[in-house]
Structure 1
Amino acid sequence: MSANLLLQYAVIALLVVVSFWTALRKVAPKTTSRMQAGVAAPLLRSQRGAFAQRVGRWLQPKGATGDCGDGCGTCGTCGPSDAPEEKAVTFHPPRK
């Protein structure tokens, strides 16, 4: 296997992993936050070195602050005030 082919496979694998992580964060944000916290927690212990603690702080998920700027969307009031109202869908029988 040539070095160029190996590099190509590595880049494709990296893109697949990043795409999967991005999609997972959109679909299951609480699960990914728990996963990030689980990975960061062992790195944040006081017995670890400064570099490991820095990586742990970088990996640690940001907590919701409670204001509309953090984008948590749990209260449902962060949306625009001029949002269109929902309309009911009406189904009609097919024309003959």
Structure 2
Amino acid sequence: MTPFLVIQAIVIGVAVAASLVYACRRLMPATSQRWQGALASSLSASSRPATLRAIGKRLQPQAAAGGCDSGCGTCATGCSPTSAADEQPLQFHERSRE
């Protein structure tokens, strides 16, 4: 194989891997966060070198923060999800046939 073909295969492999990661995060967010957490906890093990532990710490998924105006409506602070009054119905108009 020529060096060009090796570089081409590497670039295509990186593009396919990035596309796969993006699709998983968009289509399966809970599963991808679970996988990310598992990877982060395995890298953060005390038996790993310091550099891998640092990478594992950075890969730790963010906890869901539900504050006011988040729309969750589960806390007792008095905030609630978006009310139905804010929603507007769709209105369809016929086109004129001229």
The alignment's TM-score, normalised by the length of structure 1, stands at 0.69
Q: How many residues align?
A: 83
* Structure 2 segments unaligned to the other structure (5+ residues): 74-80, 93-98
Aligned to 1:14: 14
Give me the identity figure in percent. 33
Of structures 1 and 2, the one scoring higher in RCO (CA 8 A, sep 6+) is 1
What is the Cα deviation at residue 63 of structure 1?
1.4
The structure whose Rg is larger is 2
CA separation of 1:39/1:67 partners in 2, compared to 1, >3 Å: closer, same or farther?
same
CA separation of 1:2/1:67 partners in 2, compared to 1, >3 Å: closer, same or farther?
farther
CA separation of 1:84/1:59 partners in 2, compared to 1, >3 Å: closer, same or farther?
same
Aligned to 1:45: 45
* Structure 1 segments unaligned to the other structure (5+ residues): 90-96
The alignment's TM-score, normalised by the length of structure 2, stands at 0.67
